[in-house]
Structure 1
Amino acid sequence: MNVLILGSGAMGCLYGAALHRAGCAVTLVDVNREHVEAINARGLELERRSGTELLPIPARLPEQVPNVADLVVVFTKTFHTDTALQGIAQAIGPETHLLSLQNGLGNDARLAKHAAPDRVLVGVSSLPADLVGPGKVRSHGEGGTKLYPAFGADPEFARRIADLLTEGDLSASLEPEIHTAVWSKAIFNAAMNPLCALTRRTPGFLGAHEESKAMIRAVVEEGAATANASGVAVDPQPIHDLTVVSVTDHADHEASMLQDVKAGRRTEVDAINGAIVLAAREAGVAVPVTETLWRMVKLEEAKLGH
């Protein structure tokens, strides 16, 4: 299978490595020239709890992608999705499947602008990963992947992807209730990511203070109420449980929003907290803590303009 990883930062490299181990012809695609050149010069260095691998996976800038892909796995920031897919339009044919493992809500609709709906897959990942330098990725922590066709298509291709990921040592499974899973992941991120970004601390710090734990609990409850009022059944308890795993097993992981704020980059808060707030307004649900965190992170982003 010819696979492109579109957005080959930490998570993209982690998944590209798994599909490479499973025998796919993987190409890592990214706009970070230094990162691309480092991978091509010495291979992708991936550090996991089981050890460190050096994997000979080719990396390309978007304009260097020559062939039509069977699968494009999208890991770009949500606000870059359209531009990134347009940048590899030459690689998207009528049989190409697109899989979003991105954060936030609405990724299925974004991908459907670039492929037929029956070729669009969405999924969620609970794995941590950090980019520690050009061509070097670290992933210390356990987790898995759930995926399914976004619009009710035949799940056979999604099953193949799940099997390949599992064969490549990243546990993956089909999830027919994928929209529940996507909402649950967005709610988890809405609770954890902004607080990491605003405090400039990792989840272990949040788990050590009652102030942050109270806000995390509130956002989970607000998000679950919004999802249910929007017609997506979400039980808040598994999300509460996952936040406990985050502050313990992933205590030192730098959340993506924290990485963005530290680097002076725009965050994905609009697709996470912002999307939940907008859905809550439509459904008539009050989400004061979720909205406050959204606006606080937007103030952090406003500093970038100065």
Structure 2
Amino acid sequence: MKVIVLGSGAMGCLFGAAFHRAGAEVTLVDVNADHVDAINADGLKVDLRSGEETLPIRAALPADVSEAADLVMVFTKTFHTAAALEGISAAIGDDTHLLSLQNGLGNDRRLADFVAEERVMVGASMLPSDLVGHGHIRSHGEGYSKLYPAFGDDTAMATRVADLLTQGGLETVLDAKIHEGIWSKAIFNATMNPLCALTRRTPGFLGANPQSRATIRAAVAEGIAAAHANGVMLDGQPIYDLTEVSMTDHADHEPSMLQDIHAGRRTEVDAINGAIVTAAKEAGVEAPVLETLWNLMKLEEAKLA
């Protein structure tokens, strides 16, 4: 399988490495020329709990992509999705499937602007990954991923993708209730990401303080209520459980919003907190804690500007 990972930061490289281990022909595509050059010169350095490895994976800038892929896995920031896919238009052929494991809500519709609905897959992963430096990632937490066709039930391609990722060391399963999974991840991220970014601390700090624990429970409860009001009848307990895992097993992991703030970049808070709060209000439900976290993160972004 020819696989392009579009947006090859910490998570993109983690998944690209798994595809490579399973024998896929992988190209890591990113706009960071130094990152691309480092991977091409020295290989992708992957630091796992099981040990370190260096993988000879091809990396490229978007302008250098010239052949159609079987799969394009999208890991860009949500607000860059359209421009990023337009930038690799040569990779999107008549049989190309697109897969988003991006944060937030609405990614399925963004991908459907570029290929037929039956070739769109979406998923969610709770695996941690940090970008240590150019061409170097670290992932020291446990977890698994799930995916499924976004709009249909033809699982042939989804099965191939899940099998390859699992063979490559990242356990991946098919989940027919994938939209519940996406909502669950969005609620988790809308809770933990802003709190880490606003305090400039990793999840272990949140776990050690009763104030943050109370806020976490309130925010998760609001997210569950918003999902239910929108007809997504997910089970909320796994989300609470995952916040505990984050504060213990992933205690030192820097969530994406914290990484963005440290790097002076715009965050995905609009696609995460903003999308949940908007969906809640449209369904007649208020989400004051999640909305406050959204507003505070927008103030952080205004400081960057």
TM-score (normalised: structure 1): 0.99
Q: How does 1:1-306 map to 2 (within 5 A)?
A: 1-305=1-305
- The root-mean-square deviation of aligned C-alpha atoms, in Å, is 0.5
5+ unaligned residues in a row in structure 2: which ranges?
A: none
Residue type of the partner of 1:85? L
Residue type of the partner of 1:197? A
| Cα distance between partner residues in 2 of 1:208 and 1:90 | 49
Task: Give, in angstroms, the shift of residue 153 of structure 1.
Answer: 3.6
Matched position secondary structure for 1:234: coil
Matched position secondary structure for 2:303: helix
| Cα distance between partner residues in 1 of 2:241 and 2:152 | 29
Residue type of the partner of 2:139? S
Residue type of the partner of 1:272? I
| Cα distance between partner residues in 1 of 2:25 and 2:159 | 18
| Cα distance between partner residues in 2 of 1:219 and 1:159 | 34
Residue type of the partner of 2:37? E
Task: Give, in angstroms, the shift of residue 223 of structure 1.
Answer: 0.4
| Cα distance between partner residues in 1 of 2:222 and 2:173 | 28
| Cα distance between partner residues in 2 of 1:54 and 1:112 | 35
Matched position secondary structure for 1:235: coil
| Cα distance between partner residues in 2 of 1:133 and 1:156 | 36
Residue type of the partner of 2:17? A
Task: Give, in angstroms, the shift of residue 94 of structure 1.
Answer: 1.2
Identity, in percent, stands at: 69
| Cα distance between partner residues in 1 of 2:23 and 2:196 | 37
Residue type of the partner of 1:15? F
Task: Give, in angstroms, the shift of residue 236 of structure 1.
Answer: 1.2
| Cα distance between partner residues in 2 of 1:49 and 1:71 | 28
| Cα distance between partner residues in 1 of 2:297 and 2:102 | 19
Task: Give, in angstroms, the shift of residue 286 of structure 1.
Answer: 1.2
5+ unaligned residues in a row in structure 1: which ranges?
A: none
